Structure formats: structure tokens, C-alpha cells
Amino acid sequence: MTVPVGYYLILAAALFTIGLVGVLVRRNMIVMFMCIELMLNSVNLTLVAFSRIHGNLNGQIMSFFVMVVAAAEVTVGLALIINLFRLRSSVDADDVRSLRS
């Protein structure tokens, strides 16, 4: 009745995959952004699991920094999305094609 650490790693890999597929198939930019958050979280889970495997706290500190960077990324990204909404009146990723010749 024990849980090998590999199970956590498999769970993290599955969550990462779900986030990646979400970024690829969803078109609402906010939902794509949430999927990126999911991917970051799965990587955090991997770091914490490896921290337990190696028996020191470096992995937990790394995932702490990942959380900080994710918070910074969310503020800037949501500001970008709001600005795009002001220009395009839509948060659909397909509508943003100004750079396409």
C-alpha cells in the first residue's frame, strides 16, 4: 500500500500533456493561458517529487521561483489580452493575424 514516486511523475506528465493539448486545440486566449498555468503546475509537481527523491530542498525552492515567475507572467499576459480585446473586441486567437502578410 505504498505509492512509488514514479506515480507522481506520471501524473505530472499527464497534466503537462493535457495542458499542451489545451494550448493547441483551444482558441480562447484566456483558456490557452490557463492551460499554460496547468503546464507550469505539472512541472512544479515534478520538481517537488524529485526534491523528495533526492532528499534535499533545492527542488522545492526551484518550484517556488517558478511560482513567482508564473505570477509575473500572468499579470503581463492578462494585460496583453485586455489590450488585444480593446483592439479586436475578441479574445479569439484566430482573430489576431495582423503580422500575417
Task: List binders of another protein among 7-66 (CB under 8 A).
Answer: 7-11, 13-22, 24-28, 30-31, 33-35, 37-38, 41, 44-46, 48-49, 51-58, 60-61, 63-65
Number of residues that bind another protein (CB under 8 A): 79
For residue 99, the minimal CB distance to another protein (Å) is: 10
Question: Could you write out the DSSP letters of every residue in 25-39?
Answer: H--BHHHHHHHHHHH
For residue 66, the minimal CB distance to another protein (Å) is: 10
Give the three cell numbers for residue 27.
Answer: 482558441
Q: Any bridge partners for residue 92, and if so which?
A: 28
User: Among all chains, which residue has been given the C-alpha cell 492578462?
Assistant: 78
Give CA–CA dist 78/38, Å, rounded.
Answer: 16
For residue 69, the minimal CB distance to another protein (Å) is: 7
